[in-house]
Chains A and B, each alone.
Chain A
């Protein structure tokens, strides 16, 4: 009994949230839906931990969906790379479940709370699906599940501007998804299969054709839209700024990271690093775009007055670091990229959680509104300080580890100007985080403002859980770095 359960874990981790979503709609009430969300996300986290350990001990797991053996059926494939991403996604979802209760009660009309949790569950299902599937078309379907639910969730924001932001995201996201579909179509035309490992084994024979090159181009552009790589990032700031706080937390910490994972998967497993970066000059293009993202988005973040929008711009800059890492196409660069995916997910989750807590009490989130909150909401503000330092890359935080690894990878590659760009971008991060800290601690609260209470304990607990996890990963980074290096080695080994 237990053995059969264990062997079905890869399917369970996708199916649980998928089945729980309609259950939430049937409950038709906010509280049972929240409980469902809580139970399902923690169960998924438990499964993710078990799968992570299982893969670490026993090597990659291949699960044939419905008993149809790959390459004919859909394969779920877990290896060192995607179990790490799976841990991040389910972990953030589980911590958001604690955070969401108070935040949703304040921001979403009570009678629609259940739809909110159903949407979050569908989004989670899509993200988990993208992460663990071994089938290219299946990846597209899960990408659309997560995207469609996130458009709906963003539109639930309080301001009417959220509607237009969701609409713009829908247009851009659908174009991105359709580009991915075209690219997968080209690959299918040339290889006659959709299983990623199978495509990878058949591709070298036909790699020198215009069709495969066009397929690669469509897939890279489509996924770059989804992961908001400069200059395809225009949908992101508004979508993050106007979404309900819990949605900002969840999507900022997971959705773009999973899209990055999908791109890494296509480039390294399906096409192979030698083809994507050796035969075609993709590395140079991605490096230039990511440097542009790091510098321009950090600069744009400095001039924002809305804290959530500031964090959103910073996300675009951080995506630059992540893309820069794997664009180097070296084992150390790829490992740095993976470590930063996890660290940035945790950091941005914590930062958006503090922004949500401030919004809950103040009902506004511009720099003027949060002035003087360092004294009135000490816990929330302190969490922002620590997570902000981590974003800049202060030692003893997770952000320091990933920036250090990235610098090492860049210097190993002999590209010193990239190291300079990383340092300049970090200094810019110091300025924009500094602006928020200045408002929090060194400015008086507006005279007309009545004193506010600290955020509810559940929100504080969730925020601090991420902050402490982040410091723990800064002080004891070995397990994470090991896991990332193992994943990087297996990717490059499979690719060549």
Chain B
């Protein structure tokens, strides 16, 4: 490969290469990490790479901002930049909602590791099955049986926050 071709395909398109690298780092983080906050960071990186993709798209080499000036000027295409303002707003709202959910998950489970959270639910399910089985075995009148369900109301602890 000649030097020119290398310059053309690599350095000439370096912002697109950065987009791909950032996107893959973000995507890999979302898939591989167990920690919910790290997942969100990966997701944010993934979205940011797309913002850069759009911004690169509108840029023309040697162009200026689209402000009317006297004489000839080459303007960058403002539309992708404006679009990405909207997409950034979407990204920020997603991030805020995601973090709010993580806070609630932490309140409800005391952990933000996905495995721990899932494990906690499986334990709880066994517990509930057990009380259910005992309840049917005793076949108590409804008034007494209801008492057994009281402890499981802790389940809803996160809801009041």
A333 to B50, CA, bound (A): 35
How many chain A residues touch B (Cβ–Cβ < 8 Å)? 35
**Which listed residue, B90, B101, B136, B159, touches A151 by the CB 8 Å rule?**
B101
**Which listed residue, B39, B57, B139, touches A171 by the CB 8 Å rule?**
B39
A164 to B47, CA, bound (A): 21
Given A175-B43, A448-B142, is A158 in contact with B30 using a C-beta cutoff of 8 Å? no
What chain A residues lie within 8 Å of B97 (beta carbons)?
A: 148, 151-152, 170
**Of A182-190, A296-304, A398-406, A427-435, the one touching chain B:** A182-190
What chain B residues lie within 8 Å of A160 (beta carbons)?
A: 105, 108-109, 121, 155-159
Q: Which residue of A lies closest to B149 (CB)?
A: A363
Asked if A53 is an interface residue, CB under 8 A from chain B, the answer is no
Q: Which residue of B lies closest to A108 (CB)?
A: B159
Asked if A446 is an interface residue, CB under 8 A from chain B, the answer is yes
Asked if B71 is an interface residue, CB under 8 A from chain A, the answer is no
What chain A residues lie within 8 Å of B101 (beta carbons)?
A: 151, 155, 163, 166-167, 170
Within the complex, the shortest CB–CB distance from A492 to chain B, in Å, comes to 31
Given A151-B97, A185-B50, A447-B136, is A175 in contact with B30 using a C-beta cutoff of 8 Å? yes
Q: Which residue of A lies closest to B80 (CB)?
A: A188
Asked if A209 is an interface residue, CB under 8 A from chain B, the answer is no
What chain A residues lie within 8 Å of B79 (beta carbons)?
A: 194
**Which residue, of A148, A152, A170, has the highest number of chain B Cβ atoms within 10 A?**
A170
Q: Which residue of A lies closest to B87 (CB)?
A: A181
A137 to B89, CA, bound (A): 14
**Which listed residue, A144, A148, A166, A181, touches B50 by the CB 8 Å rule?**
A181
Which parts of A422-453 form the interface with B (CB within 8 Å)? Answer: 446-450
Asked if B141 is an interface residue, CB under 8 A from chain A, the answer is yes
Asked if A460 is an interface residue, CB under 8 A from chain B, the answer is no
Given A181-B50, A185-B57, A448-B142, is A148 in contact with B155 using a C-beta cutoff of 8 Å? no
Given A164-B105, A182-B50, is A137 in contact with B30 using a C-beta cutoff of 8 Å? no
Asked if B54 is an interface residue, CB under 8 A from chain A, the answer is yes
What chain A residues lie within 8 Å of B109 (beta carbons)?
A: 160
Given A160-B109, A189-B57, is A174 in contact with B43 using a C-beta cutoff of 8 Å? yes
Q: Which residue of A lies closest to B30 (CB)?
A: A171
What chain B residues lie within 8 Å of A171 (beta carbons)?
A: 30, 39, 43, 98
Q: Mark B121-161, 1 if CB is under 8 A from A, else 0.
A: 10000000000100110111110010000000001111110
Asked if A210 is an interface residue, CB under 8 A from chain B, the answer is no
What chain B residues lie within 8 Å of A137 (beta carbons)?
A: 83, 86
Which parts of B14-71 form the interface with A (CB within 8 Å)? Answer: 27, 30, 36, 39, 43, 46-47, 50, 53-54, 57
For the complex of A and B, the 3 pairs showing the least CB-CB separation, nearest first, are A450-B142, A160-B108, A447-B139
Taking chain B's interface residues, is the majority helix, strand, or loop, or is none over half, making it mixed? helix
Which parts of A111-164 form the interface with B (CB within 8 Å)? Answer: 137, 140-141, 144, 148, 151-152, 155, 158-161, 163-164
A-B contact pairs, 7 of them (CB 8 A): A140-B87, A141-B86, A158-B159, A160-B159, A167-B36, A185-B57, A189-B57
A148 to B121, CA, bound (A): 25
**Which listed residue, B53, B142, B156, touches A185 by the CB 8 Å rule?**
B53
Taking chain A's interface residues, is the majority helix, strand, or loop, or is none over half, making it mixed? helix
A449 touching B30, Cβ below 8 Å: no
Given A171-B39, A182-B53, A448-B135, is A148 in contact with B93 using a C-beta cutoff of 8 Å? yes
What chain A residues lie within 8 Å of B157 (beta carbons)?
A: 160
Within the complex, the shortest CB–CB distance from B134 to chain A, in Å, comes to 11
What chain B residues lie within 8 Å of A158 (beta carbons)?
A: 156, 159
**Which listed residue, B43, B117, B140, touches A448 by the CB 8 Å rule?**
B140
Asked if A178 is an interface residue, CB under 8 A from chain B, the answer is yes
A53 to B145, CA, bound (A): 57
Q: Mark A256-281, 1 if CB is under 8 A from B, else 0.
A: 00000000000000000000000000
Within the complex, the shortest CB–CB distance from A247 to chain B, in Å, comes to 15
Q: Which residue of A lies closest to B118 (CB)?
A: A164
Within the complex, the shortest CB–CB distance from B58 to chain A, in Å, comes to 9
What chain B residues lie within 8 Å of A448 (beta carbons)?
A: 135-136, 138-142, 145
Q: Which residue of A lies closest to B47 (CB)?
A: A178
Q: Which residue of B lies closest to A182 (CB)?
A: B50
Which parts of B63-118 form the interface with A (CB within 8 Å)? Answer: 79-80, 83, 86-87, 90, 93-94, 97-98, 101-102, 104-105, 108-109, 114, 117-118
A158 to B54, CA, bound (A): 40
What chain B residues lie within 8 Å of A155 (beta carbons)?
A: 101, 104
Given A155-B104, A181-B50, is A148 in contact with B94 using a C-beta cutoff of 8 Å? yes
A347 to B90, CA, bound (A): 33
Q: Which residue of A lies closest to B44 (CB)?
A: A174
B94 touching A449, Cβ below 8 Å: no
Within the complex, the shortest CB–CB distance from A71 to chain B, in Å, comes to 12
Q: Which residue of A lies closest to B40 (CB)?
A: A171
Given A151-B97, A161-B121, is A144 in contact with B57 using a C-beta cutoff of 8 Å? no
A163 touching B105, Cβ below 8 Å: yes
Q: Which residue of A lies closest to B103 (CB)?
A: A163
What chain B residues lie within 8 Å of A141 (beta carbons)?
A: 86, 90
Asked if A69 is an interface residue, CB under 8 A from chain B, the answer is no
Q: Which residue of B lies closest to A165 (CB)?
A: B101
